[in-house]
Every structure is written in structure tokens, then in C-alpha cells.
Amino acid sequence: MRAQVVIIGGGPAGLLLGQLLHRDGIEAVVLELRTRDYVLSRIRAGVLEWGAVETLDAAGVGARMHAEGLPHEGVYLAAQNRGFRIDFEARVGRRVMVYGQTEITADLYAARDAAGAVTIHEAEGVTPHGLDTDAPYVTYTKDGTEHRIDCDFVAGCDGFHGVSRTCIPKSVLRAFERVYPFGWLGVLSDTPPVSDELIYANHERGFALCSMRTKTRSRYYVQVPLSDKVGAWSDQAFWDELRRRIPEDSAARLVTGPSIEKSIAPLRSFVAEPMRWGRLFLAGDAAHIVPPTGAKGLNLAVGDVRYLHEALLAHYSDGDDTGIEGYSDRALARVWKAERFSWSMTMMLHRFPDQSPFEQRMQETELAYLESSVAAQTAMAENYTGLPF
Ligand code: APR
Ligand code: PHB
């Protein structure tokens, strides 16, 4: 078998790249380790920068997002039992779209099926070969039979635990990482959201976040120690802790109900450099991870894919390889800015195990400065709604 591009990973990054390439007549095969149902069972964040919204529209998969998504023109930050709003529209003239990543992935799979593009699920032992030659190929096993796909390029969109990043020689790869000493306990519930926009709360007991998927489905998080087990948290214990950490007026409005999903996720900042090696390009979580505090994970994957799509299109349509040569530096420049923002939001909003009273005051004062300063709010709004591509 032969394909111009082999995409390893059928998550948002891989599927969006496949869709953008297909629309330009560049055929790619997606090799996905898991079943379609497994991929679509993942619960992930759902805040889209408007640039990501426009990219999904350009990919022809924005219809359901605009029909079911929730445009948000601001966000609430809270500390010491009171909250204040950052008005994105007033500060930077942009907004965000709240629309679950699971839905985006489903929309991308539907488009891929409609296009008749090749997606191979349960592809095991995916292994790129000859990445430092002009004739790379990828092997994999499906139902016990080994297959080979010859190609021009390989897109590593296989997430943090994928195979692609390991194909870059250790002598070339540089990794930057910070693991945070806490996790997020998340609950999904079919209850109306406590607020019309998200609430990020700093509290001395720990961080809390009130988010949503729709007007009838809410997503909440509380910071927990890494030693906590999700089984030890009853729904009631979760709701009680959430109420303690958000402002009283919000807590009084909170509508609780049975959790339909409950899990604990660790927080990590991670960047791998370079994002290209020979005919291999990394995109999305395969190259970088952000703590979810800035809602940047999916948005960074979209940015990488935009750059990679542009580079591959220039190669195939004009024989112009400046995009390919410049992909890693261009993508990393934007990745690092989002890493900084996500790290700074995490440092401002979470309680660290060894945090001193002085450091708690610094967090509270940073929030107070944000509340009082148009300049500070503009900077926050610029980062949260998305830096330019
Ligand atoms: N071979 C084939 N597929 C693989 C392999 C492999 N060796 N390893 C992983 N995969 C698949 C996973 O099953 C997954 O479906 O690659 C896909 C990677 O998807 P994601 O992990 O969702 O990463 P990405 O597409 O970059 O999307 C980034 O997802 O994890 C969130 O917070 C993150 O919102 C961000 C978004
Ligand atoms: C979510 O809705 O899951 C969500 C929203 C914003 C974040 C993180 C997660 O920063």
C-alpha cells in the first residue's frame, strides 16, 4: 500500500490533519491503536480558541459546533469567596467556544467516513521506518497480519504515550518537563451549569473549576493530592468539597446530581524539541502537554496541524519546502507561549503542598491585581482566547 502521508493517531490532531489534507487532495491514511468507540469514550476539555473554531470551519466540520456549542465572551476568576469577570470581548474583541473534544472527534470521524478516507483501527505495533531517508514507510499489525505502507511523510499524532516521539534519536531529542504535585478530580453530571461562564477558583483548600458541556451537562473539577484514589471520592464528598471552594453565592446555586463520569488526571507541562526529524513531524500531545488550567491542549494541537497542513500543501502544490524546514521552530514558538500561560495559570490558582502563607498571599494578590487592571486582564484575555497563528 502507498499513501502520501501516514498519520499515526486518530485523535483530534490526526483527524484534523487528515481532513485538511483530504480537502486539498492530499491523501493520508490514519493508523489508530484503539477502536473507534474507545477513542470516542474519552472525556476531555472543551474550550476552543476562536482560531480553532475558524480552523474547524475551514475543515468543513464546524456545523454541529455552531449548532450545539456555547460561545463564551468571558470567564470568572474567584478567590476569598468572591469572583470577578474577565470580559474577552471588551478586552480583545474575541471569544471562545465551549464544545466538548469528544464531539469534535466524532465530527471529524464522520467527515472522514463521508470522504471515504482510510482509517485503520486497532492497528498494533505501528512502527515508522526510514524517517531519515526519502523513502520512509510504516509497518503495523492488524488481526495478526503485518502490513506496510510506503509514504512521503509520517505525522506523529499519537499523543503523549505514542511511538512517534521515540523515533527521534536520543542524541537529537530534548525534553522539558514539570510534573505538578497534585491532580484534578473531575465529575461529569447531567445538571445545569452553576454559572453561564466558567469559574476558575483559587482556595486555600485547593483549586476548583466549574465548566460545562451544554446547558444541561456540567463538568466540575477539584484539585486533589496525587495519592487520592477516585474510588475514595463519593459524589456527595465531591459536591461538598466543590461548594467549599467556590464563592458562596455560586455554591448556593449549585445543582448536584449523580456523576456520569468521575476520574483523576495528573497535571504536567512537557515539551519535546524538535517537532520534526527527517520525514517525521510531531503534532499535538505527541510533542507537548500542558496542565489543563489554561484549556490549551486541544488548541495547541490545532495550531500544530495548521502549520503542518500548510507545509505539506506547499510541498505538494509548489515544491516549496520552506514550511517543512521551518515547521518545528514555527510550531514551538507558539507552543512555548501557551506552555507559559498554562504554567502561570496553574501557579496562580493551585495550592502547592509546601506553599507558605506568603505564597498564598502572592496568589491572592495576583488575582486582585488582575481584577483591578485592564492591562492585566487584556494580557490574560489575549492568551486565553488564543495568540495569533
Ligand atoms: N499507534 C497508533 N495510535 C496510537 C499509538 C500508537 N502507537 N499511541 C497512541 N495512539 C492513539 C491514541 O489511541 C489516541 O487516539 O493516538 C491518539 C492520540 O490522540 P490524543 O491523545 O487525543 O492526542 P491529540 O490528537 O494530540 O489531541 C490532543 O487530546 O489528550 C488531549 O488534552 C489533550 O486536548 C488535547 C488533545
Ligand atoms: C473542561 O470543560 O473540561 C475544561 C474547561 C476549561 C479548562 C479545563 C477543562 O481549563
**Which is the closest atom of ligand 2 to the Cα of 219?**
2
Residue 44 pLDDT: 85
What are the pLDDT digits (tens) for 273-308?
A: 999 999 999 999 999 999 999 999 999 999 999 999
- Taking residues 96-119, what's their average pLDDT? 97
- Which domains are delineated in the chain? 5-72+95-176+268-345 (3.50.50.60), 181-267+350-385 (3.30.9.10)
Of 79-83, 142-146, 194-198, 252-256, the least confident: 79-83
Residue 46 pLDDT: 87
- Taking residues 306-323, what's their average pLDDT? 98
Q: What is the chain's percent helix, strand, coil content, to nearest 5?
A: 40, 30, 30
Residues having CB closer than 6 A to ligand 1 are 8-14, 31-34, 39, 44-45, 101, 123, 126, 157-159, 161-163, 284-285, 297-298, 301
Q: Which ligand is nearest to the CA of 77?
A: 2
Residues having CB closer than 6 A to ligand 2 are 45-47, 198, 211, 219, 292-293, 295
Q: Give the model's confidence band at 80: pLDDT under 50 very low, under 70 low, under 90 confident, else very high.
A: confident
What are the pLDDT digits (tens) for 337-381?
A: 999 999 999 999 999 998 999 998 999 999 999 999 999 999 999
Q: Does the structure show a pLDDT above 90 at 45?
A: no
The overall pTM is greater than 0.75: yes
Beta strand ranges found along the chain (DSSP E) = 5-8, 28-31, 47-49, 70-72, 74-79, 82-87, 96-98, 119-120, 124-129, 137-142, 145-150, 153-156, 174-189, 199-202, 208-212, 218-224, 259-273, 276-277, 280-282, 288-289
What are the pLDDT digits (tens) for 145-163?
A: 999 999 999 999 999 999 9
Residue 25 pLDDT: 97
Q: Does the structure show a pLDDT above 90 at 43?
A: no
What are the pLDDT digits (tens) for 121-145?
A: 999 999 999 999 999 999 999 999 9
Q: Which ligand is nearest to the CA of 16?
A: 1
Q: Does the structure show a pLDDT above 90 at 87?
A: yes
Q: Rounded to whole angstroms, how far apart are CA atoms 59 and 65?
A: 12
Q: Rounded to whole angstroms, how far apart are CA atoms 75 and 85?
A: 6
**Which is the closest atom of ligand 1 to the Cα of 290?**
32
Q: Residue 187: is it exposed, middle or buried by C-beta count within 10 angstroms (0-12/13-18/19+)? A: buried
Residues with catalytic function: 72, 200, 292, 296, 384
Q: Give the model's confidence band at 17: pLDDT under 50 very low, under 70 low, under 90 confident, else very high.
A: very high
Identify residue 17 by its one-letter amino acid code. L
**Which is the closest atom of ligand 2 to the Cα of 294?**
10
What are the pLDDT digits (tens) for 203-244?
A: 999 999 999 999 999 999 999 999 999 999 999 999 999 999
Q: Name which residue sits closest to atom 26 of ligand 1, judged by CA.
A: 284
Q: Rounded to whole angstroms, how far apart are CA atoms 307 and 31?
A: 21
Substitution candidate for ligand 2 out of 104, 180, 195, 209 with most atoms within 8 A of CB: 209
Angle at 383 between CA 17 and CA 102, to 5 degrees: 40
Average per-residue pLDDT for the chain: 97
User: Hey, how many other C-beta atoms are within 10 angstroms of the C-beta on 361?
Assistant: 11
Full strand arrangement of the beta sheet holding 137-142: 124-129, 137-142, 145-150
Whether 203 and 251 have beta carbons less than 8 Å apart is answered as no
Helix (H, G, I), strand (E, B) or coil at 321: coil
Q: Which ligand is nearest to the CA of 286?
A: 1
DSSP for 233-274?
--HHHHHHHHHHHS-HHHHHHPPP--EEEEEEEEEEEEEEE-
